[in-house]
Structure 1
Amino acid sequence: MAGNFAGTRGGDLDNANNPLALLYWNKDNIQKEVRLFGNAFAEVDILPNLTARTSFGIDYNNYNFRNYSIRNIEASEARGSNSLTTNNNYGWTWTWYNTLTYNVNLGDRHRFNVIAGTEAIKNYFETFDATRTNFFVDDLDNRYLSSGTGIQTNNGTASNWSLASEFAKINYGLDDKYLLDLTVRRDRSSRFAPEYRSAVFPAASAGWRISKENFFKPITLVDDLKFRVGFGQTGNQEIGNYNSFTQFSTNPITSFYDINGTRTSAVSGYELTQFGNIQAKWETTTSLNIGFDASLLKNRLSVGFDWYTRTTSDMLFPVQPPLTQGVATNPFRNIGSMRNRGVDLMIGYGDKIGASGLTYNINANFSTYRNVVTKTNGDPSTQYFGINDERIQNFVVTQQNYPIASFFGYTIDGIFQSNEEAKAHPVQFGNAASENVAGRFKFRDVNGDGVINSQDLSIIGSPHPKFTYGLNVSLNYKNFGLTVFGQGVQGNQIFNYVKYWTDFPTFGGNRSTRMLYQSWRPGSTDAVLPQLRSSDQVSIQPSTYYLESGSYFRMKNIQLTYQLPQALLSRLKLGATSVYIQGQNLFTVTKYSGMDPEINLRSYSSGNDRQIGVDGGSYPVAKTVLVGLNLSF
């Protein structure tokens, strides 16, 4: 585990290096939050088949956080003064949704449902913080800004965005056998420049319930069978609120200058902080889906299958302008397209066992997809980096003909076991004297030019799994019920960024047990790390050393429930009542050495597909055991 460290430091609560001391000193730094969340609607029947509905929802959040830091004379960087920072932030989002719905049946065969509507979303967020130092005493009653006597600073920001949409939808059914669904939606987002603000996204789907056809009725094995096909487009606007604007800000450290040459005062100025791109437009994903749903064996067996292909065009990606333009936040640009193609399969079976009263349901799902970037700027060698860390540079790349967010770095072919082996290898990073010796990583000469340098960087792995799967089992016997759910991922890789901090001498602090026990020494042919040295700026380069298998199976949930007998409930004048015990994330089967292999799915589900599968030290999921009681009266 990356959390098993070779050294620890302890002490009493006065020791600045003791984590318990830090917890104790921060116990009064509490965040207070007030949230209002709700929705109201009104509905009226204008005509017998025409209904109007309006709904308005709001999410309002106001929170205060006071962070007090006491004097800490024992810290590695001693703080001789105390300080208080107060944050007062609030934000709100409202959604207004309006629809007109018209339902009509023409005879017994034709069924129509028509919906037209509008949707509006508006968001606002504002933050204010102030800091002051030098408080005479650390008492709680004295922890207010006006009690300090030292330097005081304040900051304030705000942001907002809005989305307005109109849509229409028609559903048609003929004899409940032939189904048609047509949808069109027009969206306008404040995140784009006015000329690119609007986009139209159509969709259509059709279904054929073949099991209702006369020629299918002799097939008694199949109870219900429906084929379906769908085509549609969706848009993506997640580029931040002000991507189209070039932004400047003022900073006393970086944008003030003693232009008068007095050496006693500086004139305030502005610096470039964000490049704007007024040409960014909606990213569009076009999907084609073909599948079927079937029920067999008197509805005991259910099967669902989907084949899909999704092409994303005008991909929004933060692109670095030429460095001659300055240093600032990169704007999102439309760079190309990518394709996801895959299948989803769901199989379920449920039945009862004789007259014992035991019933069961077993559901399994399987998904697989293949991702490829089909186009960027026309040059297959063009690379867009999703992460550009100041210490370990550019290790996630998007490039034509490869999966999005591929891992980028050097390939390591082991460790030099002797000086003779090292001298026979191409010179590494221009320094054969220090890098071509026993105990060093052996980097691969990818381009075959006889030297190891940045030209040997290449795509070394992929975060995309070969497949994902899940299993859900439900058993019921008399008053007892048991549910079990597990899910897993197979064939993906994780870039274990935590190793950068724990396995190499990159900063002062604790180290992993790998560094202590598995670093190279003469004769240790099974070492995984190079020979220890006080300074190593080569071994830390992004490489296959950081890549690990991300495959796992996790028992997500187990719950045992007991329904109290009806006779007892009647005497107690209670409705349905049950007690249960539930376990969540009880165990995980994996070879990953980090805290949690599920990091890959978290990144992907969050929508940040430019850095899938990077473990930067996220907090693992907790094992939880719950005992509960459900009452009704």
Structure 2
Amino acid sequence: MGTETQFGAAANGEATIQQGNQSNYLIEGTLNFSENYGIHTIDAVAGMTFQRFLTDRNFMTANDFPSDATFTYNMGLANPELVEINSDRFSNELVSYIGRVNYNLLDKYLVTATVRADGSSRFGEDNRFGIFPSGAIGWRVNEEPFMESAEAISNLKLRASWGKTGNQEIGNLQFITSFGTGPNAVLGNQIVSSIDPSNLANPELKWETTEQIDFGIDFGLWDERISGSADYFHKETSDMLVSIPVPSSTGFNSRLQNIGSILNTGFEFSLDTRNVTTSDFNWRTNFNISFLDNEVQDLGETVNEIVIGGPGQVGQAAIIREGDPLRSFYGYEVEGIWQTDDDYSNAPAGVEPGSIKYRDTNGDGQITGEDRTLLGDSFPDVTWAITNNINYKNFNFRFSFEGVEGVSMLNVNMIDTFFPVNFRRNKLAEPYLNRWTPENPTNEWPSFVNPLSQGQKTVNSYTVQDASYIRLRTVRLSYNLPRSVLGGAIRNASIYGMAENLFTIDDYIGPDPAVNPNANANFRIDWNAAPLVRTFTLGVNLGF
């Protein structure tokens, strides 16, 4: 930053250089076997894989330059006492031994068995490997003789599967104590650097394991005029890798541990229909829908609940508690706005007309942390999508909708509006334009005159919002040029127009209810997210 900027001027010029390399090495070797023994078919695979991830980075920051002219091209011009240099290097390895056998009897009885042993350098030597078996069976019922009279059924298959998978995504060096750059100290009038522990080691860390059972059916009717599938799944994750709060006397806030279990259950359905099929006109529809229920089953013997923090000024945002969905949003329920003629005799401290009215859930006459309650979670109850594809002669028209119901998201932009870090920050317009005043005694938005008078209750039923939506995702119209008008080397050609994200129906106050910049599907937080853009495209496809 040059001296013409606010921060650059304070440092008399500030320059930063960051460089890094990421490498991924993969070695795989497999043996394959396949043989047909009359009515029996067997194929098998055995093998081993090794993968290594390596990252190295260098950092340099310098201040106090005699001129802005050299930018970052001559860092040696900076004040040598104001130069910071740092670097790091870390890696992790995965090794896997895999085996799979498929057995097919009469092409209607199907069996699959799989086992893999995965080893990760992210765990200690005693817990480095995890064994993850799985198996599946299938029965093509429509191939049985007793189905010959069921002419309408063109396909009927029953499926069942069971399996275990592992998770080791915890970062590196969590099972041992690692060290990083500590604060500088002054000894004998000299600045001396130091090192300090970067984590609280846990040598007992091991693989997080997910065990899943599925039951499904595939079907087709009237020569696949109608086809689809239905599935039920029961998925339990145990030995969860979770950061648990620890006493501050340890020098850390948390420690990574294997505790508890989470259960996900649900149904998934898909349906494909050929609504109209003629020589000139075809209309096909695809529809899928899923239902999900998430619940924390167990947190071990020593932990009752875990309160999770959010980004920036949010503070405590969610809770992990037995019987509730994972990372449920946890905060204060808003009943409305204090009005001029309300009874203030038992009102909490700091309340005045136009203040937010929080629910006293425990009835003690005060609004404290004990009044927090569940405000929603990041797991949608229902997710669905529908696509229609219509062909008429050389024209093709396709459009698709998608929807999500029963999901919440923490809106940090709304938090910034209610509890701004400073009053010069941008805020959402609607709450301020329709705020409470004596002339506009609304019961929806507060006055914002003194937003911190009751404390910074950032997570509440205003800032945790319903993120359900219905969206017209894609509309596409194309025309295939007849071969009679094509010449030369052009085999086929089409022109098309396409629009994406045309409109969204939702109650979310923010750019987009589907965007989740927190990048964690289990903890949806909207923080200055850019919405999905509405795009219009015209194009030509040529085949030679």
TM-score (norm 1): 0.81
Q: Is it true that 1:399 corresponds to 2:316 in the alignment?
A: no
> 3-state SS of the aligned residue for 2:343?
helix
Determine the C-alpha separation between the residues in 1 that align with 2:331 and 2:180: 35
Determine the C-alpha separation between the residues in 2 that align with 1:580 and 1:250: 57
Decide whether aligned partners of structure 1 residues 450 and 142 sit closer, same or farther in structure 2, where only a CA change above 3 A counts: closer
Q: CA deviation at 1:503?
A: 3.0
Q: CA deviation at 1:236?
A: 0.7
Determine the C-alpha separation between the residues in 2 that align with 1:631 and 1:294: 37
Deviates more, 1:165-174 or 1:440-449: 440-449
- From 166, 176, 179, the equivalent of 2:97 is 166
Decide whether aligned partners of structure 1 residues 316 and 149 sit closer, same or farther in structure 2, where only a CA change above 3 A counts: closer
Determine the C-alpha separation between the residues in 1 that align with 2:96 and 2:411: 42
> Counterpart of 1:181?
112
- Amino acid in the other structure paired with 1:628: G
Instruction: Indicate conservation of the 8 Å contact 1:504/1:515, yes or no.
Output: no
Where does the alignment leave 5 or more consecutive residues of structure 2 unmatched?
Answer: none
Post-superposition Cα deviations, 1:396-428, rounded to whole Å, max 9, x if no partner, equal: 111111000101011221122136423244xx3
> Counterpart of 1:466?
381
Deviates more, 1:297-306 or 1:549-558: 549-558
- Amino acid in the other structure paired with 2:22: G
Post-superposition Cα deviations, 1:86-141, rounded to whole Å, max 9, x if no partner, equal: 2221111122222111111111x1111111111211111111122334555545x7
> Counterpart of 2:353?
438
**Aligned ranges 1:487-498 → 2 under 5 Å:** 487-498=402-413
Decide whether aligned partners of structure 1 residues 531 and 368 sit closer, same or farther in structure 2, where only a CA change above 3 A counts: same
- From 527, 540, 543, the equivalent of 1:616 is 527
Q: Percent identity?
A: 28
Q: Is it true that 1:256 corresponds to 2:184 in the alignment?
A: yes
**Aligned ranges 1:531-570 → 2 under 5 Å:** 531-534=447-450, 536=452, 538=454, 540-541=456-457, 542-569=459-486
- From 400, 418, 433, the equivalent of 1:503 is 418
> Counterpart of 2:446?
530
> Counterpart of 1:117?
47
Determine the C-alpha separation between the residues in 2 that align with 1:512 and 1:422: 30
Decide whether aligned partners of structure 1 residues 423 and 505 sit closer, same or farther in structure 2, where only a CA change above 3 A counts: farther
Deviates more, 1:363-372 or 1:122-131: 122-131
- Amino acid in the other structure paired with 2:184: F
Determine the C-alpha separation between the residues in 1 that align with 2:369 and 2:93: 44
Q: Is it true that 1:98 corresponds to 2:29 in the alignment?
A: yes
- Amino acid in the other structure paired with 1:95: L
Determine the C-alpha separation between the residues in 2 that align with 1:220 and 1:229: 25
> 3-state SS of the aligned residue for 2:249?
helix
Determine the C-alpha separation between the residues in 1 that align with 2:75 and 2:525: 44
- From 132, 137, 141, the equivalent of 1:201 is 132
Instruction: Indicate conservation of the 8 Å contact 1:518/1:527, yes or no.
Output: no
Q: Is it true that 1:277 corresponds to 2:206 in the alignment?
A: no
Post-superposition Cα deviations, 1:564-590, rounded to whole Å, max 9, x if no partner, equal: 322333x22123333322222222111
> Counterpart of 1:349?
273
**Aligned ranges 1:59-458 → 2 under 5 Å:** 69-72=1-4, 75=6, 79=10, 81-107=12-38, 109-135=39-65, 138=68, 143-146=72-75, 148-150=77-79, 151-251=82-182, 255-258=183-186, 260=187, 262=188, 264-327=189-252, 330-355=254-279, 357-378=280-301, 382-389=304-311, 391-418=313-340, 420-425=342-347, 428=348, 432=349, 434-435=350-351, 437-458=352-373
Post-superposition Cα deviations, 1:587-608, rounded to whole Å, max 9, x if no partner, equal: 21111111110135x76xx5x3
Which has a greater percent of strand? Answer: 2
Determine the C-alpha separation between the residues in 2 that align with 1:515 and 1:362: 42
> 3-state SS of the aligned residue for 1:303?
strand
Decide whether aligned partners of structure 1 residues 135 and 179 sit closer, same or farther in structure 2, where only a CA change above 3 A counts: same
- Amino acid in the other structure paired with 2:477: L
Q: Is it true that 1:629 corresponds to 2:540 in the alignment?
A: yes
Instruction: Indicate conservation of the 8 Å contact 1:500/1:506, yes or no.
Output: no
Deviates more, 1:359-368 or 1:271-280: 271-280
> 3-state SS of the aligned residue for 1:530?
coil
> Counterpart of 1:48?
none
Determine the C-alpha separation between the residues in 1 that align with 2:511 and 2:159: 42
Determine the C-alpha separation between the residues in 2 that align with 1:449 and 1:202: 53
Determine the C-alpha separation between the residues in 1 that align with 2:26 and 2:395: 43
> 3-state SS of the aligned residue for 1:370?
strand
Decide whether aligned partners of structure 1 residues 389 and 565 sit closer, same or farther in structure 2, where only a CA change above 3 A counts: closer
Q: CA deviation at 1:513?
A: 1.7
Q: Is it true that 1:599 corresponds to 2:515 in the alignment?
A: yes
Determine the C-alpha separation between the residues in 2 that align with 1:540 and 1:348: 51
Q: CA deviation at 1:462?
A: 2.0
Post-superposition Cα deviations, 1:198-249, rounded to whole Å, max 9, x if no partner, equal: 0000101101111111111101111010010111111111101121122232
- Amino acid in the other structure paired with 2:43: N
Instruction: Indicate conservation of the 8 Å contact 1:286/1:310, yes or no.
Output: yes
Deviates more, 1:335-344 or 1:448-457: 448-457
Instruction: Indicate conservation of the 8 Å contact 2:338/2:356, yes or no.
Output: yes
- Amino acid in the other structure paired with 2:446: P
- Amino acid in the other structure paired with 2:130: A
Instruction: Indicate conservation of the 8 Å contact 1:486/1:556, yes or no.
Output: yes
Q: CA deviation at 1:146?
A: 4.4
Decide whether aligned partners of structure 1 residues 238 and 143 sit closer, same or farther in structure 2, where only a CA change above 3 A counts: closer
Post-superposition Cα deviations, 1:323-360, rounded to whole Å, max 9, x if no partner, equal: 111136x33211200100100000111254434x1112
Q: Is it true that 1:585 corresponds to 2:484 in the alignment?
A: no
- Matched positions, count: 540
Post-superposition Cα deviations, 1:505-550, rounded to whole Å, max 9, x if no partner, equal: 4323233223422322225342433233356153631211212211
Determine the C-alpha separation between the residues in 1 that align with 2:448 and 2:365: 27
Q: CA deviation at 1:388?
A: 4.5
Determine the C-alpha separation between the residues in 2 that align with 1:383 and 1:213: 53
Determine the C-alpha separation between the residues in 2 that align with 1:128 and 1:383: 40
Question: Cα RMSD (Å) of the superposition?
Answer: 2.3
Determine the C-alpha separation between the residues in 1 that align with 2:530 and 2:304: 34
Instruction: Indicate conservation of the 8 Å contact 1:583/1:626, yes or no.
Output: yes
> 3-state SS of the aligned residue for 1:315?
strand
Determine the C-alpha separation between the residues in 2 that align with 1:473 and 1:153: 59
Determine the C-alpha separation between the residues in 2 that align with 1:452 and 1:351: 58
Decide whether aligned partners of structure 1 residues 106 and 535 sit closer, same or farther in structure 2, where only a CA change above 3 A counts: closer
Deviates more, 1:77-86 or 1:336-345: 77-86
